[in-house]
Amino acid sequence: MPGNTVTLSDQNFQTEVIQSSIPVLVDFSAEWCGPCKMLAPVIEELADEYVGRIKVGRLDIDDNRQSPGQYGIQGVPTLIIFQNAEPVKKFVGLIPKDKITEALDQLL
- Is the CB of residue 80 less than 8 Å from the CB of residue 107? no
**Integer Cα distance of 80 and 100 in angstroms:** 10
Give percent of the chain with pLDDT exceeding 70: 98
Is 38 catalytic? The answer is: no
Element (H, E) at 80: strand 78-83
User: Could you say which of 26, 36, 42, 103 is catalytic?
Assistant: 36
Catalytic residue, candidates 24, 25, 33, 47: 33
Active-site annotation holds for 33: yes
CA 64/CA 6 separation, integer angstroms: 15
Domains of the chain, each with CATH number or no CATH: 5-102 (3.40.30.10)
Tens of pLDDT, residue by residue over 38-70, are 999 999 999 999 999 999 999 999 999 999 999
Q: Quick one: pLDDT at residue 3?
A: 84
